[in-house]
Structure 1
Amino acid sequence: MALANKLKVITVIGALMACAIASSASTPSAAPAAEGFEYVGALLDPSLPELSGLAASFRRPGLHWALSDSGNDPALVAVDAQLVRQEVVAVEGVINHDWEDLASFEHDGEAWLLIADTGDNFSLRSEVSLILVPEPGPGQRQVAPGRVIRFRYEDGPRDCEAMAIDATRQRVLLADKGRHPVGLYELSIAGTDTDVRVARHLANFPDLVPTPPPRVQTLSGARWRGTATAMDLSPDGNMLIVLSTLSASLFRRGPDQDWTAALAQPVLSQRLPPLPMFESMALEIGGRSALLATEARPALFYRWSLPAP
């Protein structure tokens, strides 16, 4: 067979395999199971080539906002409860350097989204940013940032894929990635945005994967094992959920307890379904469950039923 014909055959076979994988991933029977996690469905949409952040809508029940990381458009994508894209909203005047997480909250009766442009794979960024936008309404195609909050870490550059906001206390929590132990940082967002702020180290997380690691693991996999890829915080600021490469973890703190003390308590962790690269997670409205998803297309979605206090 001529080389050109061989290449054509290989291309066709590859396309058929990709279609088969996408088709099978959209059915619950093809999705790996894990205790505590319910398979929801698959999202195969060109507007989300690398799903990196997820946040529940405070304006439209059942809707979630999503984003992709570096190399993709600075846009927010609305996805309904059936995992169908509703709209793509361009964020004006900013660049997607490396968007890694997304949070939603209410303040003074208004719904907001907070974008974490905090990815820094090689620890080269002297400063990173949080982009605050009002939550878009139905049919909206553009949104302008209300604030761009520039900051750095007190102990040097950090790669961060996990961010959560405590709107009542005007604090943002950030977890670094690729380091052991995983550090938890806090950033005040009160006041004006004229200067570069500083995120302070609060504490270190305990091991986010308390069960033994796989017997066979690459050096790269060992580096990322147990590092945070997403995070969310309950509206009262007292329940923190953290997603890692292998598990989902939950931390609670008492009314008079800080996060340093809360992280010193035993961690409640559940091993994820055996899939690569869970990258996004969001508390659902009501706080009884969380929605989490893998990064690559098709993104597989699961619902985590949170244990009662």
Structure 2
Amino acid sequence: MRVRTIMRTLKSLFILFTIMSFVSAGCKDAPAEVDPIDSTIQQSNLFAAAQSMGDLQSPDLNEASGAAASRSNNIYLWTHNDSGGDPTLFLTTTIGADSGRFVLSGAQNIDWEDIAVGPGPDAALQYIYVGDIGDNRAVRSSLTIYRVPEPDLNVLDIPTTQNLANVEAINFVYSNGARDAETLMVDPLTNDIYVVSKREAQVGLYVLPFPQSTTEMDTARFLANLPFTNFTAGDISADGAEILIKNYFNIYYWPRSTGQTVQQALAATPQRLAYTTEPQGEAICFSLNANGFYTLSEMDSSDPVPVLFYRRN
């Protein structure tokens, strides 16, 4: 009798473990429990602790999964929802006010993960880059980065709803096979696009050199492994002199010297910045004048999502 009881208990535990494993595998981006920190990475006071600037007000923005500062007006940030939604960019002020929706004509949101603003093929324009680069199980045959000229926000009647035309699709594969990524950055000094993978024990740095093809399949070339994991967002400052990349637990900062490539800058040991841990922080960007940086989180149940600002000391 006792043996049967033990067997039933073991069977119940096995079923529970199986169910929990299945649920865990289905969770898209559950933060890892630990973030191993190299003892050589020092905490920096270059930026102050987080200040809440206000809550995101857009009722349709519930999975903020990227952020980029507008180049046309420094009070605005671009952001977007995560996978499966409409191909829509949300415009918010730096204090969270809902300022508009911009639909990318002809685009799809399979798994949008990050956004950047930077130069592109027309030197007179700034462009918005949207990374449809999420691939949780590394099964997608190709990925897409959408590029569209940034509208001049100073001449629009804000808040507004717009369709953005002239959307270009940069379709690409990785040089060493499919993988998941959530970090997209554009180098304002070279127009090169950088993607950083997510799930490896040491993530990969990839580049799509300028000019990127919009007519043929492009290849993101592997450059180097970085001794970090679970990177969820990144940004290069508008002057190209500073780089931020974050995961769920930490924000890392790299200065970039004159003449250095992004790869060379990231080869150095970064500094670790103050970070107020968010429920699922997957968005970071410098302010336009780099006097600080912003982070956003995906929504945690019904709680409002604050715009957090880290001011430069």
TM-score normalised by structure 1 residue count: 0.77
2:279 aligned residue = 276
Partner amino acid, structure 2, of 1:266: T
Conserved? CA contact 1:206–1:264, under 8 Å: no
Partner residue of 2:307 out of 293, 296, 301? 301
Matched residues in 1 for 2:262 and 2:116: separation? 19
Q: Secondary structure in 1 aligned to 2:264?
A: helix
Matched residues in 2 for 1:246 and 1:114: separation? 25
Within 5 Å, which residues of 2 pair with 1:84-163? 84-106=97-119, 108-136=123-151, 137=153, 138=156, 139-163=160-184
Structure 1 residues 191, 83: closer, same or farther in 2, change over 3 A?
A: closer
Shift in Å, 1:271: 4.7
Q: Secondary structure in 2 aligned to 1:261?
A: helix
> What's the % identity of the aligned pairs?
28
Within 5 Å, which residues of 2 pair with 1:229-308? 229-296=232-299, 298-306=304-312
| Structure with the higher strand share, 1 or 2 | 1
Worse-superposed segment, 263-272 or 80-89: 263-272
Shift in Å, 1:134: 1.6
Q: Secondary structure in 1 aligned to 2:194?
A: strand
Partner amino acid, structure 2, of 1:302: L
Conserved? CA contact 1:206–1:263, under 8 Å: no
Matched residues in 2 for 1:183 and 1:88: separation? 33
Structure 1: runs of 5 or more not aligned: 1-33, 208-225
Structure 1 residues 189, 258: closer, same or farther in 2, change over 3 A?
A: closer
Structure 1 residues 243, 191: closer, same or farther in 2, change over 3 A?
A: closer
1:227 aligned residue = 230
RMSD across aligned positions (CA): 2.0
Partner amino acid, structure 2, of 1:175: V
Matched residues in 2 for 1:263 and 1:192: separation? 26
Conserved? CA contact 1:166–1:236, under 8 Å: no
Conserved? CA contact 2:129–2:146, under 8 Å: yes
Conserved? CA contact 2:248–2:277, under 8 Å: no
Shift in Å, 1:41: 2.4
Conserved? CA contact 2:285–2:295, under 8 Å: yes
Partner amino acid, structure 2, of 1:41: G
Q: Secondary structure in 2 aligned to 1:87?
A: strand
Structure 2: runs of 5 or more not aligned: 1-46
1:227-267 CA distances to partner (integer Å, 9 max, x unpaired)?
21111112333321101110111112222333443233221
2:6 aligned residue = none
2:52 aligned residue = 39
Within 5 Å, which residues of 2 pair with 1:205-216? 205-207=226-228
Count the aligned residue pairs.
Answer: 256
Conserved? CA contact 1:58–1:106, under 8 Å: no
Structure 1 residues 260, 89: closer, same or farther in 2, change over 3 A?
A: closer
Conserved? CA contact 2:70–2:76, under 8 Å: yes
Partner residue of 1:48 out of 58, 61, 64? 61
Shift in Å, 1:87: 0.9
